[in-house]
Amino acid sequence: MQGRWSRVVRTPLGLTATVFVVALLALACLGPVLWGADADVVDTDNILAAPSGEHWAGTDNLGRDILLRVLVACRLSMLLALMAIVLAVVVGLLLGAAPFVLGRRTGRLVTAAVNIAVAFPGILLALFFAVVFGAGATGAVMAIGLAGAPAFARLTQTLVAGIAARDYIAAARMAGVGRVRILFRHVLPNIAEPLVVNATIGAGNALLSFAGLSFLGLGVQSPSYDWGRLLYDGIAAIYVNAAAALTPGAAVLVAGLAFNLFGESVAKGLGVSVGVGLRTVATTRAVVAAEPEAAAHDDEDVPEPSSDVVLDVRDLEVTFPGPAGPVRLVRGVSFEVRRGEAVGIVGESGSGKSMTALAITRLVADHGRVDATRLDLLGTDLLAPDTAVRRRMLGTSLAMVFQDPMTSFNPTRRIGAQLAEVATHHQGMTRREATARAVDRLTAVRIPDAATRVRQYPHEFSGGMRQRAMIGMGLMGKPSLIVADEPTTALDVTVQQQVLDLLTAIREADDVALVLISHDVTVVGEVCDRVMVMYAGRVVEDLPAADLATAARHPYTRALVEAVPDMATDLTRPLATIPGRPVSPADAPVGCAYADRCPLADARCRAEDPPLVADSGRHRVACWHAGEPLPPVRMTDDLVETVESL
Amino acid sequence: MAMSLTAESPTAGPAVPGERPWARFALRRLGRLLVSLWVLVTASFAMIHLIPGDPVRGALGPTAPVELVEARRHALGLDDPLATQYLHYLKGLFTGDLGTSISSQLPVSDVVAQRLPATLSLAVLAFLGAVLVAIPLGVVMGVLTRRGHGRRTELAFTTTSVFVATVPDFLIGVALIYVFGIRLGWFPVAGDETASAYVLPVFSLAIGPAAILARIVRVEMVGVLEADFVRTARAKRLPARTVYLGHALPNAVTAALTLGGLLLGAMVAGTVLVENVFAWPGLGSTIVQSILTKDYPVVQAIVLVYGVGVLVTNLVVDVALAVLDPRSKIRED
Amino acid sequence: MSELRFDDVTVRYGKATAVDGVSLTVPEGEVVGLVGESGSGKSTLARAAVGLAPLSGGRITLGGAPVPTRGRPRPLQMVFQDPYSSLDPRMTVGESVTEAMPPGGTRAERRAEVERLLELVHLDPACAGNVPSRLSGGQRQRVAFARALAARPRVVIADEITSALDVSVQGAVLNLVRELQRDLGLTILFISHNLAVVRYVASHVAVMRDGRIVEQGPAERVLTEPAHDYTRELLAAVPGRSTPRSQR
């Protein structure tokens, strides 16, 4: 907590805002004490004087010093703003939390009322209440406070609803904890931060609104004065002494800005710490490693790949800037994919498998850096700078299928148009030809009534249908390679089967190569010829899919296969478990990244990272103890897990 | 990461194409408009009754003779039962009869009709100005400051826009009067007689909302550029222009309008302060005068007009959204 | 008696019927697996049982009496799918578990009980002082189990508890489910979309589709000799069952 707040002060903007807020608070306390009497001294010889050495901002129509009055008015201005914001927050909290406490039906009524009130701007509400409560300081506090309440109610409602949907609220309700108690124990503490931040910003706005009301003559009345009142008086004399209007105006502005910026900096300071570390050091431009020396080096060492190689990847590295320096998410991956071959990449979250997929298709976000000694698709160097020719080549011969069919289509455009643009951009078709092709391709991926479907929007398709349409989009050209990144993870099992069948059928019909990325060993084993297992950004084993269950040699691969139950798993034995948690590539140790979780690990494993070596045919493995027998599966009873300190 | 999306998330499941989404949208939106209108009308009616004490006595002052107060009360119908008054009020609204001004004795509808055009032209110009400046600016800034780019630009833009958005419109007005009216003498500082008289008021009214809207558009644009469907567009190897304008822009603008729509409605009411700064002969100056002189029928009517203005603006924004984003039609409130 | 019975249960949301006349019995001391795809209504059925979804028809009874959905004790507890949303980020593990305990007992007794429960789910009792952000997904799921057990439930409903976990840790959670059933005789309704997972933990299986149960019976029988077409379809779709598709 302490650290997060001190981060706010450490930014230049945050520091400035904090200094100003503190200074204003001090002025509010001391101003009237120091200058209260002097500010009321009437000097009839010096009416409406221009700024001078004696009166820095001139005098008003009674000859009183404007600057002193502005300094003294700080207390009243801030006090009124504070009262108004407290009123707004209290009423807003009550209204905002009411739906949670009152339950469905009554709650809905409150929500609807707040929604209607929120649609009316604050100034209108303030005028309404100013009429009801009359002109004057009290009326203005009520007016601005009540006018601000709907916005806070709405904010609170949104925040409360967000927390209420969480399972820990359901768990507390199931345990018999009352709603009010849940509100105070679980909900409010979790929404306190955004509320406080918004209240701070709200205080700045209340200050400005007060000035507005007083400026209209509806706020503080003489002989009391706040900044708005001074402004109101000053405007009347703006032709004689502009400083009479500009000084209180500047004061209002500085105070309003100080509170707003303070709130914003706090919001930003707290927001940034919520785990978006990558965002903070995101300045490195994508550097494409197209240096000629790399290419030359290639020619010497590596034999020309046989002509049926579709994709050739050597020493692929993907690096992203991180809070503590660059993080290598993919650490030296090499493989090739031949015509019509299906290669699976398996791994857990953070293994680098999806990043590998993005890197080989040149879709890594542009603050990430991709390096390789070779990255060739159909003989074209993908590390070379992007050109129109290459775009056309990639657009027609490389197809991509992403994990989430719900979000991977543009929700505001028709499916047909999204397919057709591939053909209009890359194949020179007219819009009509392209649409006809889209219908044809949708039919090819077994979407019934495609001629009607092309005119529909993505949200009118079911998940499975969208994923098939995505595959159809890849087939607009004549792909030689399909890269599918978790294409079925978001789908139901029966739909998953249809999508996998479709991919297989396409592959067989046109000899298309497939790279299938999945966390599911069984899916990959079923669809692919060859499986690469990734761990912490490296390939640890590359083996024929048929060997997965019987001839895997890396202890991680073996554990992965055994840990996942299938329809033939022995029910009398506990499942294999892997202790600890997957290593993030950022924390990859010097030696083998799997050593900490491996039952075979010894001193060498921890000191030296084993290279990926081919042992027989195309079976590659990176382990110093490849193929050694594993100790029998441990019972979970012996396995009390400790939480590693972070 | 990979496995979190399986099975039964409540949003999953086949999307059922709605039957005639436009008709359903129109029906629902109309229902909401009518409820809001009713609330507005009732609130404006209730306003006069919420005032502590006798509003007529308050308006005429403590020295006015009792007979005059009684006569005026009767003329305003304030001695009828509340329900009768309410029905009268509703009937009056339908027939265009908004009552009589206490101070000028003119029909309130005449006052409104005379003052409305000035306010309307100010609000519409400011609205257009804000939208036309904010959206392109936000989009360009979004592209320049997308993830991993333009950190300095982002800081400069964010700081400037926060600053501009924080300065209230009436203070901007005062500053503009001082600089361009008094010091430089380029523009008139009061009234609406000439075209150049519009410059300063429209600018003061539009710049704050424009800054906020541009910020929202930028944030949405940056977010949309990270979205899966933009990655899909890049995977199709479309030219950058198509990716930004064809795929990212419509989504960023719809998201921004969803958030910023209320802001535009607020501009309608923002005219109140700006009109008072520039002595603009519109509803804003009139309502403040009327509040100070306790001319409640006029106040009631103008609050009503402003409220309707806000509701209409919100309606326009929602219809624009429905056109831009097919999903927003089926989305519940 | 801790038999959980659903009798002709119906749940409607507006016009949509999420659960349509479901009858299902979870016998005491058994693990019953409830299988279905998204939208089948299996999670809604679970939420109805613990009072988180309104019942439009039918009865849910526990040992012959209606399931209490007010006050304490609550003999029916649930473990949720998403380990990242099921624990209050501001509460320590110990506080979360303590909150679910029946009232009463001294502070020391409660602390001892927390330690006992954490050991039961194979977590180091020392982690009681940690906040959830320091725990992995699998560890959080075990804390969620400890919290459910803290309420001394007679039946626990586990709703897709492994589907958000990495494969290497889901095994540990599945082993835990079996162990709790075996060692404590716990009655469990185990909901999952994954047939292989259900097969591993459940003795009975019910298959749900479009709000109805299309088939139920002993796991062995349902998974080897399915009677309903949909069950057969589901079984055929389990990856890794058919021969590899590749042609090479």
Predicted confidence (pLDDT) per residue in B218-277, tens digit: 888 888 888 888 989 988 888 888 888 888 888 888 888 877 777 777 787 788 888 888
Q: B177 and B289 share a domain?
A: yes
B333 touches chain A (CB under 8 A): yes
Residues of A with CB below 8 A from C128's CB?
Answer: none
- List the structure tokens of B104: 């000028």
In the structure encoding, which two tokens stand for residue B322, read together? 């429905």
For residue C215, pLDDT beyond 90: yes
CB A127 within 8 A of CB B291: yes
Tell me whether residues A212 and B170 touch, CB distance under 8 A.
yes
H or E stretch covering A567? none
- φ/ψ region of A512 (left if φ > 0, alpha if ψ in -120 to 50, else beta) reads beta
From chain B, pick out residues whose CB is under 8 angstroms from the CB of C37.
Answer: 7
The C-alpha atoms of residue A305 and residue A292 are separated, in whole angstroms, by 19
Closest alpha carbon within chain C to B6: C163
Contact C163 B7 (CB under 8 A): yes
Judgement on whether residues B165 and B266 belong to the same structural domain of the protein: yes
DSSP B203-234: HHHHHHHHHHHHHHHHHHHHHHHTSHHHHHHH
Q: Is C7 on the interface with A (CB under 8 A)?
A: no
Over residues B19-58, the pLDDT tens digits come to 567 778 888 888 888 888 998 888 888 887 787 777 777 7
d(CA B118, CA B286): 12
- What residues in B contact C192, CB-CB < 8 Å? 7
d(CA B76, CA B100): 8
CA distance B149 to chain A (A): 6
Instruction: Say yes or no: B75 and B197 in one domain.
Output: no
Among C166, C225, C235, the residue to mutate for chain A (most A Cβ within 10 A): C166
Which amino acid would we find at residue B315? L
Residues B170 and B74 in one domain: no
- Farthest CA pair distance, chain B: 84
What is the distance between the alpha carbons of residues C108 and C118, in angstroms, rounded to a whole number?
Answer: 15
Give pTM, 2 decimals. Answer: 0.81
- Rounded Cα distance between C18 and C53, Å, is 10
The Cα of B17 is separated from the nearest Cα of chain C by a number of Å equal to: 15
Cβ–Cβ < 8 Å for A123, A206:
no
Q: Where does a domain end: B44, B65, B97?
A: B97
C123 CB-near residues (< 8 Å, 6+ apart): A640, A641, A643, C93, C139, C142, C143, C146
Q: Do A174 and C135 touch (CB under 8 A)?
A: no
**Gap between the Cα atoms of A383 and A378, Å rounded:** 13
In whole angstroms, give the CA distance from residue A292 to residue A535: 31
Residues of C in contact with B24 (CB under 8 A): none
Burial B98-131 (b: 16+ CB within 10 A, else e): bbbbbeeeebbbebbeebbebbbebbebbbebbb
B24: distance to nearest CA of chain C, Å?
16
Asked if A232 and A301 count as a contact pair (C-beta separation under 8 A), the reply is no
What's chain B's average pLDDT? 81
| pLDDT at residue number A646 | 35
Asked if residue B123 and residue B89 are part of one domain, the reply reads no
Domains in chain C (CATH in brackets) are 4-247 (3.40.50.300)
Question: Hey, are the CB atoms on A582 and C122 less than 8 Å from each other?
Answer: no
Query: Which phi and psi (to 5°) does residue A221 adopt?
Result: -105, 150
Output the CA–CA distances (angstroms, integers) from residue A274 to A164, A280, B4, C88, in the order listed.
20, 12, 20, 16
Residue whose entry in the numeric block shows the structure tokens 């007060």? A210
Asked if B185 has any chain C CB less than 8 Å from its own CB, the reply is no
In the prediction, which pLDDT does A333 show? 92
The pLDDT, as a whole number, for residue A8 is 67
> What is the DSSP code string of A492-515?
-HHHHHHHHHHHHHHHHHHT-EEE
Distance CA B236, CA A476 (A): 10
Q: What stretches of A414-537 adopt beta strand conformation (E)?
A: 481-485, 513-518, 530-535
Question: Which residues of chain A have a pLDDT value below 50?
Answer: 1, 272-304, 635-639, 643-646
Interchain CB distance below 8 Å, B6 and C193: yes
CA of A602, closest CA in chain B: separation in Å?
31
Residue A640 tokens, joined = 């009390």
List chain B residues with CB under 8 Å of A400: 232, 235
* % of chain B exceeding 70 in pLDDT: 92
| Beta carbons of B174 and A363 less than 8 Å apart | no
Rounded-to-integer distance, Cα A420 and Cα A433, Å: 8
Calculate how close chain C gets to B295, using CA atoms only, in Å.
49
CA distance C188 to C167: 22
- Both B38 and B155 in a single domain? no
Q: Over the range B34-59, which residues count as b (16 or more CB within 10 Å of their CB) and which as e?
A: eebeebbbebbbebbeeeeeebbeeb
- Give residues 104 to 163 of C whose Cβ lies within 8 Å of A: 119, 122-124, 126-127, 130, 134-136, 138-139, 144, 147-148, 150-151
Q: Say yes or no: B1 contacts chain C, CB-CB below 8 A.
A: no
Residue B7 domain-assigned (yes or no)? no
B139-157 average pLDDT score:
84
Angle at which helix B283-292 crosses helix A122-133, to 10 degrees, equals 20
With an 8 Å Cβ cutoff, is C99 touching chain A? yes
B193 shares a domain with B60: no
Q: What whole-number distance in Å separates Cα of residue A559 and Cα of residue A562? A: 5
Residues of C in contact with A523 (CB under 8 A): 239-240
What are the beta bridge partners of residue C205?
C33, C217
Cβ contacts of C49 on chain A, cutoff 8 Å: none
In a domain, B134, yes or no: yes
- pLDDT band of C31, cuts 50, 70, 90: very high
Q: What is the pLDDT, as a whole number, of residue A299?
A: 36
Confidence of residue C2 (pLDDT cuts 50, 70, 90): confident
Q: Could you tell me the CA-to-CA distances from B189 to A245, B171, B277, C40 in Å, in that order?
A: 15, 14, 9, 68
Distance CA A253, CA A226 (A): 13
A245 to chain B, any CB pair closer than 8 A? The answer is: yes
Same domain as B121, residue B215 = yes
Burial classification of residue A127, based on how many CB atoms lie within 10 Å of its CB (0-12 exposed, 13-18 middle, 19 or more buried): buried
Where does residue B53 fall: left (phi above 0), alpha (psi -120 to 50 degrees), or beta otherwise?
Answer: left
- The alpha-carbon gap from B292 to the nearest alpha carbon of chain A, in Å, equals 8
Residues B128 and B223 in one domain: yes
CB of A341 closer than 8 Å to CB of A532: no
CA distance between the termini of chain B: 30
Q: pLDDT-based confidence at B333, cuts 50/70/90?
A: very low
Asked whether residue B137 falls in the same domain as residue B78, the answer is no
CB-CB under 8 Å, A521 with C86: no
Round to whole Å and give the CA distance between B140 and B118. Answer: 34
| Burial category of C124 from C-beta neighbours within 10 Å (exposed 0-12, middle 13-18, buried 19 and up) | middle
- Cα–Cα dist B112/A465, whole Å: 57
Give the number of domains in chain B: 2
Model-level ipTM above the cut of 0.90: no
What CATH number does the domain containing B244 carry? 1.10.3720.10
Which pLDDT belongs to residue A296? Answer: 35
Q: Which residues between 12 and 71 in chain B have a beta carbon less than 8 angstroms from any beta carbon of chain C?
A: 12-14
Picking from C80, C126, C196, the nearest residue to A567 by CB comes out as: C196
Query: B-chain residues within 8 Å CB-CB of C53?
Result: none
Q: What is the mean predicted confidence (pLDDT) over B61-82?
A: 79
Residue-wise pLDDT tens digits, B276-290: 888 888 888 888 888
Do B92 and B122 reside in the same domain of the chain? no
In this prediction, residue A428 carries a pLDDT of 87
> Is the confidence at residue C171, as pLDDT, over 60?
yes
Q: Is the CB of A246 less than 8 angstroms away from the CB of B251?
A: no
In the structure encoding, which two tokens stand for residue A246, read together?
Answer: 């500009």
Backbone angles phi, psi at A54, to 5 degrees: -80, -45
Q: Which domain holds residue B162?
A: 117-332
Interchain proximity C42–B6, CB inside 8 Å:
no
Task: Centre a 10 Å sphere on the Cβ of residue A332 and count the other Cβ atoms it contains.
Answer: 18
The helix/strand/coil state of A302 is coil
Asked whether residue B11 carries a pLDDT value surpassing 50, the answer given is no
Q: Is the minimum CB–CB distance between A16 and chain B shorter than 8 Å?
A: no
Share of chain B above pLDDT 90, in %: 1
User: What residues in C contact B1, CB-CB < 8 Å?
Assistant: none
CB-based contact A326:A357 (threshold 8 Å): no
Domains and CATH numbers, chain A: 2-270 (1.10.3720.10), 309-528 (3.40.50.300), 546-646 (no CATH)
- Is residue B82 one of the residues assigned to a domain? yes
CA atoms of A229 and B292, how far apart (whole Å):
15
Residue B262 lies in a domain: yes
8 Å CB contact of B147 and A367: yes
In a domain, B190, yes or no: yes
Condensed to tens digits (0 to 9), the pLDDT of residues B161-199 reads: 888 888 888 888 888 888 887 778 787 777 777 777 788
Chain C, residues 54-93, CB within 8 A of chain A, namely 70-74, 76-78, 80-82, 85-91
Compute the mean pLDDT over every residue in chain C, rounded to the nearest whole number.
87
φ, ψ of residue A343 to 5 degrees: the values are -115, 130
Sheet holding C155-159, edge to edge: C76-79, C155-159, C187-192, C31-35, C204-209, C212-218
Residue C40 touches partner A, C-beta closer than 8 Å = no
d(CA A263, CA A260): 5
Choose, out of C15, C17, C38, the residue to mutate when testing the contact with B (most B CBs < 10 Å): C38
Same domain, B58 and B124: no
B325: contact with A, CB 8 A cutoff: yes
B242/A119 Cβ within 8 A: no
- Residue A304 phi/psi, 5-degree rounding, is -55, 130
CB A189 within 8 A of CB C90: yes
Q: Measured between alpha carbons, how far is A326 from A585 in angstroms, rounded to an integer?
A: 11
Question: Alpha carbon of C193 to those of A499, B309, C200: distances in Å?
Answer: 17, 52, 13
Rounded to an integer, what distance in angstroms lies between the CA atom of residue B223 and that of residue A434? 30
